[in-house]
Amino acid sequence: CGVFGIYAPEEDVAKLTYFGLYALQHRGQESAGIATFEGEQVHLHKDMGLVSQVFNEGILSNLPGQMAVGHTRYSTTGSSRKVNAQPAVVDTRLGTLALAHNGNLVNTIQLRQELLENNCNLVTTTDSEMIAFAIAQEIDAGQNWLEGCIKAFSRLSGAFSLVIGTPAGLMGVRDPNGIRPLVIGTLGSDPVRYVLASETCGLDIIGAEYLRDVEPGELVWITQEGLASYHWSQQQQRKLCIFEMIYFARPDSVMHNESLYTYRMRLGRQLATESIVDADIVIGVPDSGIPAAIGFSQASGISYAEGLIKNRYVGRTFIQPTQTMRESGIRMKLNPLKDVLNGKRVIIVDDSIVRGTTSRKLVKTLREAGATEVHMRISSPPVTHPCFYGIDTDSQDQLIAATKSVAEITKQLEVDSLAYLSWEGMLLATGEDPQSFCSACFTGDYPVTVPEQVKASKLI
């Protein structure tokens, strides 16, 4: 999911949020929503569909206020329905709160039980709504906004980057491991106003300047007075999702002072040094495989070419909820350039193989277009484990590398050769402490304990 928040009384906050969500559209395409605060009063509009389908000028002009919270959603828990769209809006003793969540909790069974025991009326099926109700419960028990939120966050386990609007101010929060990203931007200078977004591309689009990340276990509280920071959790060990860097976040978003485009190019270079093969051209799978393909070409000296053209108006295939939709989505998406491919030995670079359905089809497409050899190179290690923290990588039995060796996958995809990037290569290329990333989908080493009951639902 994509989250966005802004506190700027002198601006049209609904419109800025709309543009912010537009830039975060790749993080979720099922539903979109904006809640604005006009003093104590909350205005909300949310619906199924893309940001551009959910909002228009008329709707945005009915969302006045000094502060806004926005969300784009793809479902990881809770079904794809309008009631599950966010922001979640809940009434409390101190007024209404609006909450946008990115990530996935792992202790929802226990949390739901706790909430129901306290006569809480859960409306939807999402973990995000449970967070909003947990906060409301603490507030109603007599806490103020800050104390109440901190108490509620301590009851959560899993991944949560949150933007929360309250009548008293805007809040940005990351879980103690900072699994999902969240950045702070500034707007204007006198006075300085603050913006929160899942990625820096959400700041760029409205001309906001990147200030810093919200830190793991940190809570920022943004009001008329400016920005205050609190470390709400004692234990902090960053475990940023490495999949954000490899695939999920936009290539023009900046993490660790460089664009992910640059990081992904470096992955491609590393991949070439690990598994070079003789060929005529290197192509990338649009869009996600392109930067790594360019890096592979640079390091190998084999010329880069465009061999596949993408129809940009088809959504990310993996976001479609069913396998049938996914498969027809893939056919709509990529078309080969026969002139480029015919008679060539081709290296095709992609960021990841999850189920193997895209890859198998692509190989067939390349051969039909005249490629004489097809060598596949993947700029991440084999995905062997499901994600419980908010990336929708399916249950383990759907993951091709969970049950098959590289040799078996080579056969199944009908490629002449196949190589994945090493786990070390992927982490070393970040230039950061390898310990500061979650890479559980490649190792099964889950940084936040997943309850057995939850594990059983997705593991073979």
DSSP state of 286: T
In the window 369-408, what residues touch ligand 5GP (CB under 6 A)? Answer: 391-393
Residue among 288, 297, 379, 380 that touches Mg ion (CB under 5 A) = 288
258: CB partners within 8 A, 6+ apart: none
Within 245-274, which residues bind ligand 5GP (CB under 6 A)?
247-248
Q: CA–CA separation, 362 vs 398, rounded Å?
A: 19
Is residue 429 a contact residue for ligand SF4 (CB under 6 A)?
A: no
Nearer to Mg ion (CB atom), residue 288 or residue 396: 288
- Nearest distance in Å: CB 380, ligand 5GP: 9
Q: Is the peptide bond before 191 cis (omega within 30 degrees of 0)?
A: yes
Residue placing its CB nearer to ligand 5GP in the complex, 166 or 288: 288
Phi, psi for 119 (deg, rounded to 5): 60, 40
Spatial neighbors of 189 by CB under 8 A, at least 6 apart, are none
Taking the complex as a whole, the smallest distance from the CB of residue 316 to ligand 5GP amounts, in Å, to 7
- Does residue number 11 form part of the binding site for ligand 5GP (CB under 6 A)? no
Alpha carbons within 13 angstroms on the beta-carbon side of residue 203 total: 24
Q: Does 340 bind ligand SF4 (CB under 6 A)?
A: no
Binder to ligand 5GP among 4, 18, 153, 318 (CB under 6 A)?
A: 318
Query: Catalytic residue positions?
Result: 1
b/e for 95-109, b at 16 or more Cβ within 10 A? bbbbbbbbbbbbbbe
The distance of closest approach from Cβ of residue 160 to ligand SF4 in the complex, given in angstroms and rounded to an integer, is 12
Question: How remote is the C-alpha of 310 from its chain's centroid?
Answer: 21
Report which residue's Cβ sits closest to Mg ion.
288
Q: Which amino acid is at 323?
A: Q
Binding mask 259-298 for ligand SF4 (x = CB under 6 A): ----------------------------------------
Residue 405 buriedness (CB in 10 A; 0-12 / 13-18 / 19+): exposed
Rule CB under 6 A: is residue 355 a binding residue for ligand 5GP?
yes
| Binding residues among 115-174 for ligand 5GP as defined by CB under 6 A | none
- DSSP letters spanning 294-314: HHHHHHH-PPB---EEE-TTS
By CB under 6 A, the residues from 97 to 136 that bind ligand SF4 are: none
Q: Cα Rg for the chain, rounded, in angstroms?
A: 22
Closest CB 329 distance from ligand 5GP, rounded Å: 10
Taking the least distance from each CB to ligand 5GP, the nearer of 49 and 321 is: 321
Whole-number Å distance between alpha carbons of 190 and 277:
57
Out of 30, 127, 244, 350, the only residue in the binding site for ligand 5GP (CB under 6 A) is 350
Does position 334 bind ligand 5GP by CB under 6 A? no
Q: Site residues (CB under 5 A) for Mg ion?
A: 288
Residues of this chain that interact with ligand SF4 (CB under 6 A) are 179, 241-243, 387, 389, 391, 438-441
